[in-house]
Amino acid sequence: MVSHEERLKRCLAGETVDRVPVSLWRHFPVEDQSPALLARAVVNFQETYDFDFVKITPSSSFCVADWGSRDQWSGNPEGSCEYIEFPVKHFEDWKKIKQLSPNKGALAAQLECIKLIRQSLPKGTPIIQTIFNPLSQAKNLVGKSNLPIHMRLNPKEVLNALAVITETTLEFIKSAKKLGIDGIFFAIQHAQAGLLSPAEYDEFGIPFDLEILEQGNDLWLNVAHLHGNDVYFGKISQYPMDVLNWHDLETPPDLSTAKLLFPGAVCGGLRQWETLVNGSPESVTKEALDAIEKTESNRFILGTGCVLPITAPHSNILAARQAVEL
C-alpha cells in the first residue's frame, strides 16, 4: 500500500502515481473555538474520507484575536465567522500592533490543536496548517473595505504593521514546525485586480509573503491558496511553493495552462457550490474525471477552489474521494 505521503511526494516530483491524490477541507464552526474540539472534528473528517493530506482550518481570527479582532459564527454556509470588532479604527491604531508570542493566547491554542491532530493521525498522513498572509491578517484588523484606504493614505504605518505581523507569523510557524506539520496552507486574498493594483501588491504583499515562505522552505508540502477572481496568477506562480490552489473553474488560468506556468502541482478541478453542494454524486464524478483527464494525472491534486461548504452532502464528498479510484 502506498502511503498518502509517498503518493504526494511522487505527485510533486512529476512521477507516475498509483492514483491522483485528493483532498478537501472545511471549516468547523463552533468547534473552531476550542483546540480540542477542532482537533477532534478535523480527525473525524479525515477518518471518514481518508484524504491524502489534512488541511487544518481554524477560524481566521486565531492569528489576530490577541490584537483585539473579534468574530462570531452567524450561519455562513462556508463555515467562516463574521468579524464584529476591529482594533484598527484610525490610522494611528496601527502603532498598537505589537509582536505576539506563539506561546500565549489564541496562537498557543492553535499550536495545541496541531499537537492533538498530529498525535491522532497516522505518521504517513501529511498535515498542513493554515497561515493567512500578512495582508489577509491586516484586513481582519481594520476591515475589508478599509484596508486599501489605509494603505493608500497611510502607507508607512501599514507597512510597519505588516512587518510586525510577519514577525509574529514567522515565530508561529517555527513553533508549528516543531509539532510535526508537513507544510503550510498559505492563504492569499489580495492578489486580485479588483482589490489592489499590481504595483500595490508588489509593495504591500510580495516582500512579506516571501519572508514567510522562506521560513517554510524546509517543509515539503507548502500549498498556496490564491483566493478570488481576476487573480495575479503570474506573480504568485513565481513563489517557492509546492502546490498552487485557486478557483480554477471560475477564473483563469485553467488547470492545463497553470501547469505550463507553475513547476509544482496544481490543486482543483471541482466547483464548491454548483457541483459539491448543489450537484449529484454523478456530476461530482464527471467533473473530477474531466479534471484528471485534462491534467493527464500528472502534477495534479483533486480538490476544490476553496473550502468545502459545510452544506455539502456526504454522498458528494464521498464521490470526490472515490473518483480517483476509478
pLDDT 10s digits, 45-57: 999 999 999 999 9
With a pLDDT cut of 70, the percent of the chain lying above it is: 100
pLDDT 10s digits, 221-266: 999 999 999 999 999 999 999 999 999 999 999 999 999 999 999 9
pLDDT 10s digits, 144-172: 999 999 999 999 999 999 999 999 999 99
Q: Which residue has the cell 500595490?
A: 200
- How far, in Å, CA of 185 to CA of 224, rounded? 6
Q: What pLDDT score was predicted for residue 1?
A: 87
CA torsion sign, 111 to 13 to 293 to 295? positive
Reference 210, options 175, 238, 174; nearest CA is 238
- How far, in Å, CA of 158 to CA of 154, rounded? 7
- How far, in Å, CA of 245 to CA of 247, rounded? 7
- How far, in Å, CA of 107 to CA of 175, rounded? 10
Classify the phi-psi angles of 118: left when phi > 0, otherwise alpha if psi is within -120 to 50, otherwise beta.
alpha
* Cβ-based neighbour number of residue 205 at 10 Å: 23
Reference 57, options 132, 125, 5; nearest CA is 132
pLDDT band at 84 (very low <50, low <70, confident <90, very high): very high
Q: Which residue has the cell 453542494?
A: 277
Contact 23, 270 (CB under 8 A): no
Q: What pLDDT score was predicted for residue 101?
A: 98
Class of domain 4-323: alpha beta
Rounded to two decimals, the pTM is 0.98
Task: Compute the mean pLDDT over every residue in the chain, rounded to the nearest whole number.
Answer: 98
- How far, in Å, CA of 219 to CA of 67, rounded? 28
pLDDT at 136 over 90: yes
Reference 23, options 174, 239, 180, 182; nearest CA is 182
